[in-house]
Amino acid sequence: MAKFFIDGGARLSGEVNVSGAKNSALPIIAASLLTKKQVVLENIPDVHDVRTMIQLAEYLGARVEFKRNVLRIHTPRLRRVAAPYDIVTRMRASYYMLGTLIARNKKAVVAMPGGCAIGPRPVDLHIRGLAALGTRIEIKDGYIHAHAQSIAGNKIDLQGPKGTSVGATINVMLAACGASGTAVISPAAVEPEVVDVANFLNALGVEISGQGSHEIKVRGCSGLDQGVRYRIIPDRIEAGTFAVAAAITGGDLLLKGAAPEHMTGVIEKLIEIGVRVKLNGRGISVNGHGKKNAVNICVAPYPGFPTDMQAQFMALLATVPGTSTIRESIFENRFMQAIELMRMGADITIEGDTAVIDGVRELSGAQVMASDLRASSALVLAGLAASGTTIVRRVYHLDRGYERFAFKLRRLGARIRRGR
């Protein structure tokens, strides 16, 4: 099993190109199967989750070509309407095919999704939203069976116990593309990736309005029959991860192509910590030299501080003098990196949904094990700042969501290699 070997202490500097957003690319790949014509997608990150979604698209009948971050998808007809367990269980985002198959074929059988082990992520809001469109849903033998005689526009309530859901908002948008009349999704998620999917669907010929607000309207159409060329937005989580890499190593990086308007929650906390952040036409400059301050962070839906960045900030705050706190209000089991950081000398106490972090003068290299995608990146960041050698196991988690992560870090001066 592959590992990363990191010799810490190198101060990162230079420029890094931010890849396309994985969390946009996956649903947009699924949405590309709505049309019978060819779709060309630019800025698609070459990561394992994308490769898995491509495999699923091909299984369902798409003809796909993927070269140099450009993806061509052509699905004149669907050969199957069932997404099998062995593909879906590898990646939770496979469930976006549910909305696509319902819109195009009025029938879908999709295995219950897999993904990172970061706590319960039920699909009840997805089911509720699809049922409101007129879809009959049955969960049987680990599969979601969906069937609709017709799909009708309706008012769709996606309010859950912790707010709305990005995944459910997107899945209902996809299904509503095949509806008669107008579907009104409220409250809708407002994340940039939701807006990106809506903008792609508009380019495809669907009429969607309100994206970026808590009420999205989708006017369905009977059969999409046009192609499109579309460019995916930059990955705000990858950009945030490299921003923390600059901060934790005292480095100086330019994040080329990053979209600062998508990263306000992260940028505000970096500045509060004492990191110098400047915006320019090329991206975001991050300088981690100088004194840093302890801060309190509360994870919140967009535009608040993203749950996908709390693990990376935990690694950073473990090296910042004083006492910091991180409250995780979205996922119940997302402090799994804390135990591994403590193996490196971090002083962290978990109190319910809050991590209390007392900064230490220096982390020490150790053997650590990644539990999920973002925890993996946090351990790599900690290894960059630690004295000695850090070995990060289970880096296949990183391969799911970061494109050529070690390669990009090496170009910035990190002493990191992949081995077994």
Residues (pLDDT < 50) of the chain are 114-121
Nearest-angstrom CA–CA distance, 304 and 284: 19
Copy the structure tokens of residue 233: 């937005």
Q: What is the pTM of this model?
A: 0.95
User: How would DSSP label each residue in 98-137?
Assistant: HHHHHHHHSEEEEEPP----SS----HHHHHHHHHTT-EE
What distance lies between CA 218 and its chain's CA centroid? Answer: 24
* CA angle (83 as vertex; 223, 107 as ends), nearest 5: 40
Question: What pLDDT is recorded for position 116?
Answer: 42
- What angle, 0 to 180 degrees and rounded to 10, lies between the N-to-C axes of helices 96-105 and 166-176? 10
**Terminal C-alpha separation, the chain:** 6
Question: What pLDDT is recorded for position 238?
Answer: 98
Nearest-angstrom CA–CA distance, 97 and 4: 33
Contacts of 280 (CB under 8 A, 6+ apart): none
pLDDT in tens, 346-403: 999 999 999 999 999 999 999 999 988 899 999 999 999 999 999 999 999 999 999 9
Question: What pLDDT is recorded for position 221?
Answer: 84
User: How would DSSP label each residue in 39-61?
Assistant: EEEES----HHHHHHHHHHHHHT
Contact 297, 327 (CB under 8 A): yes
The phi, psi pair for 389, rounded to 5°, reads -110, 130
Question: What pLDDT is recorded for position 113?
Answer: 67
Question: What pLDDT is recorded for position 329?
Answer: 83
Catalytic residues, by residue number, are 116
Question: What pLDDT is recorded for position 120?
Answer: 41
Nearest-angstrom CA–CA distance, 8 and 239: 21
Question: What pLDDT is recorded for position 122?
Answer: 59
Q: Which three-class secondary structure string do you get for 343-406?
A: HCCCEEEEECCEEEEECCCCCECCEEECCCHHHHHHHHHHHHHCECEEEEECCHHHHHHCCCHH
Contact 354, 327 (CB under 8 A): yes
Can you give the C-alpha Rg of the chain in angstroms?
A: 21
Nearest-angstrom CA–CA distance, 53 and 57: 6
Residues of CATH 3.65.10.10 domain(s) within the chain? 3-18+234-419, 22-231
Question: What pLDDT is recorded for position 112?
Answer: 80
Report the CATH fold assignment for 22-231: UDP-n-acetylglucosamine1-carboxyvinyl-transferase; Chain (3.65.10)
Question: What pLDDT is recorded for position 115?
Answer: 43
* Cα separations in angstroms, 179 against 131, 149, 166, 207, 314: 12, 11, 20, 12, 44
Report the CATH fold assignment for 3-18+234-419: UDP-n-acetylglucosamine1-carboxyvinyl-transferase; Chain (3.65.10)
